[in-house]
Structure 1
Amino acid sequence: MVNVIDISKPENMRILHHFTLDNVELTDVETCGRHVFVSYESLSVKESGNVLVYENYNKKESTMHLIHNITVGSMPDMILPTHDCSRIVVALEGQAYISGGAVVDPPGGVGIITFPDGFRKDKEVSYTELDFMNYNNRVADLEKTGVRFVYRENNNSFSNDVEPEYLAINKDSTTAYVGLQENNAIAVVDLTQMNITSIHGLGFKNWNNSLLDPSDRDGGIKMSAWPIYGMYLPDAIKLVTWKGVDYIVTANEGDSKDYDDVWTEERRGHDFTDAMLSPEVGDDLRSALKNDSQLGRLKFTDATGKNSNGTFDALYTFGGRSFSILRADTMERVYDSGDDVERKLNQHRPEIFNSKFVKSKTPFKTRDSRSQFKGPETESLTYGIVDDHLLLFIGNERPGFVSVYSVADDITKPHFEFLYDGIGDVKMTFQQLYDQRKLNAMDPEDIRFVDGSSSPTGKPILLITGAVSGTLTIVNVDVTTTPSSAVKPDGLGPTTMILLAAVCWLAGRHSH
């Protein structure tokens, strides 16, 4: 369902218009100028999807007129217009599916829809689809940078294994950056020449240098360093220009390839036998893998870390439980938040630490239950500029909160400011919280910053969609710069204190 929501009065938001499409799964909604773009994948024909172009909602007529219906490749997971609205870039995830008991893996790709003469119905629309076949013979070199080739059964090719997930476009609309989540990489697309120019692996995170809670059976919140590695596997990526330099910020959620009961790359720590581990794996790690209160419950991949003998030299878990900042021109990681997201959640809201949604249970009762998987699952992000400070808003899926960081000058030194979550009394069940409208921002799948000049409140706001709570939340962003004398030693100088308070939320009254 697509909803058109009037937010002109945040305390009384209302749905003006909605429509549904049959036998499809909606994947994204974007706007540019006077038009709305909607993408979907077909539930019956997995090899193709569609992008719809609508005129903006007409309040007088209470209608949205469909202008174009463009067929694209398999599973258009995200669409993003260029800044001048003349093109739409499409991330074609091509996610594998099961047919007749077998895995079918369509090719991943990047679609480019061009409107050379505007959006009118009688005007021509062109569609170009870029594939990754030129990289099938470069896998060995790509893997050295951290790129993953995961599903190799049935002679599957790398170009089919690739799964474009998220998009970012530079300011002059000449370059698109494409997140290949499960492949732990970012591809670069030249939008002028219409080709994929490079794939950059994102490397791996050494959990010896940061802390994580890897178990739901360790008696509570216990964060420790371990001699294992994390695969960043980012979901959302955003291009940020700061002090004249382009950076890519990544939300390092993590994701695995798991095809029902047919094939999976997931393996718990206690499923690794001694015979599966090479001499490179020390006794302490072997012991921790056998212990469910340590690494025994944590999920690892069995598709990364093997040597030529087929045994594991190192173990890799899903996600970075963090956000990272990379220089766009070199793809060098200049910052990673390490364990800060999980640590700040423990510090400020331990009662919902790595909690998960179970409608009959309380957030407190389910805390620590997601530690065995990917912890807080950092998945979405956006940014804004207020009072010469760059503000980074980092959305975390489990159970649903936004971490706020500020940057004064040096982008390699983000400063934590605030943690917002939409959970009321943690001793009420999720269902009770939902029924009493005390629940929002659960699984913040997408967040958007709106500056004061465009905001219905006249002040900066944050829009947070809750995929699990079925909500749209509007949050005020009140910024107060503290004097230098009041700054703590770990501050940035005259720092930024972010005070957020939920103005209103709108429940789409979905059943759970």
Structure 2
Amino acid sequence: MRSIDDFADTFDDELIAKLDDNNILGRLHFSTVDGLDSSGKIEKLYFFGARGFSIFRASNMTLVYDSGDEVEKMIAKFYPDVFNTNTKPDDADEDKPIDFFDKRSDNLGPECESVEIGELGGRRILFVGVDRTAAILIYSLESGEVVPTFESVYRAGGRDDTFQNLLDNRNLGDLDPEDLKFIPVSESVTGVPMLMVTSTVSGTISLYEVYNDSSTMSTTEPPNPTMTTGNGIILISSKVLYFLSIIFGFLILQW
């Protein structure tokens, strides 16, 4: 808890009051070594966490886009029961993903951990792995544009069951998707573009088929599509390839 004397005279008094209220901003962690004035008092707040993603111009590394709070807004809209949840249970036999609702909001937030770029139907597609919600957000980026368009969000696995039951039933999903790899149609064994997702907490390697509902890649309706908006890119689990490392997942949960 910071004292009012820790803040510079120019700091907003109303914001100080909110930082002292656990029902508003009191739980939020911020740096005490950044944003200080010449006397060492806080004049600007720097919060921790990977709450979004940014796009920089490669030629000079200038910032051209930042997602701001959109990642959290989309998770709150489509998966509100696991908003800023945690993927590491205290007791795998008792805890459920929904039990950790909002637990990470005060420190690292959703933690956008991984990113991958692919091409689908002539459009550049951006995949963002969100650790704590264990979800994949999908954006499209038209040629010459720097502002991506939100397309859909996908979360595998159950939410209202214990972590141990989800593990036993092979329904953990992708807990902490640490790395993503896009597989173009030319290299896919199913003839459909795929996304490989490796996740550290669930101990899984998952392969998903990626569809564009306006494309002609498949003559049948993809099964069980996730919620979609925008131009309708959807991500679904491949019926052909899905791997789950039971032993590794078990060790992670016990740890």
Q: TM-score range by the shorter chain?
A: 0.7 to 0.9
Q: Distance in 1 between matches of 2:15 and 2:111?
A: 24
For the Cα contact (< 8 Å) 1:440–1:472, is it kept in 2?
no
For structure 2, the residue ranges without an aligned partner over 5 or more in a row are 216-228
Match of 1:505 in 2: 243
Instruction: Find the structure with the greater CA-based Rg.
Output: 1
For the Cα contact (< 8 Å) 1:370–1:376, is it kept in 2?
yes
2:151 paired with 1:421: no
Give the letter aligned to residue 53 of structure 2: F
Match of 1:405 in 2: 139
Describe the SS at the equivalent of 1:434: helix
What's the CA shift string for 1:385-442, capped at 9, x where partnerless? 1111000000011131110001223432211111111222x22011211121101211
For the Cα contact (< 8 Å) 1:440–1:505, is it kept in 2?
no
For the Cα contact (< 8 Å) 2:167–2:246, is it kept in 1?
no
Q: Distance in 2 between matches of 1:366 and 1:464?
A: 23
Match of 1:55 in 2: none
For the Cα contact (< 8 Å) 1:437–1:507, is it kept in 2?
no
Give the letter aligned to residue 123 of structure 2: H
Match of 1:445 in 2: 178
What are the residue-to-residue correspondences of 1:26-425 with 2, within 5 Å?
Answer: 271-357=1-87, 358=89, 359=92, 360-424=94-158
Q: Distance in 2 between matches of 1:468 and 1:275?
A: 42
Give the letter aligned to residue 477 of structure 1: V
What's the CA shift string for 1:212-245, capped at 9, x where partnerless? xxxxxxxxxxxxxxxxxxxxxxxxxxxxxxxxxx
2:187 to 454, 469, 487: 454
* TM-score normalised by structure 1 residue count: 0.44
Q: 1:475 deviation in Å? A: 0.5
Larger RCO: 1 or 2 (CA < 8 Å, sep 6+):
2
Q: 1:377 deviation in Å? A: 0.5
Describe the SS at the equivalent of 1:346: helix
For the Cα contact (< 8 Å) 1:472–1:506, is it kept in 2?
yes
User: How many pairs does the alignment contain?
Assistant: 230
Q: Distance in 2 between matches of 1:431 and 1:298?
A: 30
For structure 1, the residue ranges without an aligned partner over 5 or more in a row are 1-270, 483-489
What's the CA shift string for 1:13-41, capped at 9, x where partnerless? xxxxxxxxxxxxxxxxxxxxxxxxxxxxx
Give the letter aligned to residue 137 of structure 2: S
Q: Distance in 2 between matches of 1:410 and 1:272?
A: 46
Which segments of structure 1 move beyond 3 Å, counting only runs of 4 or more? none
Q: 1:481 deviation in Å? A: 2.5
What is the alpha-carbon root mean square deviation over aligned residues?
Answer: 1.6
* TM-score normalised by structure 2 residue count: 0.86
For the Cα contact (< 8 Å) 2:51–2:112, is it kept in 1?
yes
Q: Which has the higher helix share?
A: 2
Describe the SS at the equivalent of 2:166: helix
Q: Distance in 2 between matches of 1:394 and 1:368?
A: 20
Report the identity percentage. 36
